[in-house]
Homo-oligomer: A and B are copies of this chain.
Amino acid sequence: MLSCIVDAEILRKLVKASSILVDEAKIRTSSDGISMRAVDSANVAMVSFELGKDAFELYEADESEIGVDLHRLEEILGIARKGDRVSITVSDDESMKIRIRNLSYTLSLIDPSSMRRDPRVPNLEFSAEVCTSGEDIDRAIRAASKISDYVILGVENDVFYIEAQGDAESMRFEMTKDELFELKGGNARSMFSLDYLSDMSKSFRSSPEVRIHLGTDYPVKITFPVTASGEVSYLLAPRIESE
């Protein structure tokens, strides 16, 4: 059903980006590559990833679903060192064989039919789109999380901003159109929980390019590449701003 070899670090990034939201995941395999989509138990955030067959050193797969415990897979991949490749083989519904150098693992699979259904991807139209480095966003989110549990992301007059309001202090991060890699669309302003954004930020902070899609009192969609043909995407519901 699946036989592939890939840089262990790439797979680890995808798994880690997903495991902040869900414990288990149904990974879909096809002749084009692997993909995953899942919603957290509170139905507030969705994560999805795609990894095209070009990202693999070797890739052979049928159309199928593989149910895995993301935390166990993440721990196994954590044993890999920089540059290690991981070889993965799934030949039945029972188990996944994972090989990293001299280490081989057999990981029991989860029956996909016992898992939550794949979430429907909502049809969204964003009013603004921003592209900048993960490091910039992460820095602003860490600053915000020191003073509040919520943060506002917005665009106003060609300025992208991140705002937070604490008891005794307020914070505002701004990047003008010139400082951003890209800024498209008009104004937007939505509030989000830092519980979610801080975890997400750890996944994309080392990414040179993070794309943020915004609206007003609207979900945010954050996408970033982990390799040439692999991408992670987060969707996070807004909090209602009470003023």
Residues of chain A touching chain B, judged by Cβ–Cβ distance below 8 Å, are 69, 72, 75-76, 79, 102-108, 136, 139-140, 142-143, 146, 168-175, 179
Contact = CB atoms under 8 A, between A and B. Distances in A.
Contact of A168 (B107, B139, B175): B107
B175 A108 contact: no
Contact of A104 (B75, B107, B108, B171): B171
A143 B79 contact: yes
Given A79-B143, A102-B136, A104-B173, 10 more contacts: A76-B169, A79-B146, A102-B173, A102-B175, A103-B173, A104-B171, A105-B169, A105-B170, A106-B169, A108-B169
B69 A168 contact: yes
A103 B172 contact: yes
17 contacts: A69-B168, A72-B168, A76-B143, A79-B139, A102-B140, A102-B173, A102-B174, A102-B179, A103-B143, A103-B171, A104-B172, A104-B173, A104-B174, A105-B172, A106-B170, A107-B169, A108-B169
A174 B104 CA distance: 8
Contacts of A139: 79, 103
Contacts of A103: 139-140, 143, 171-173
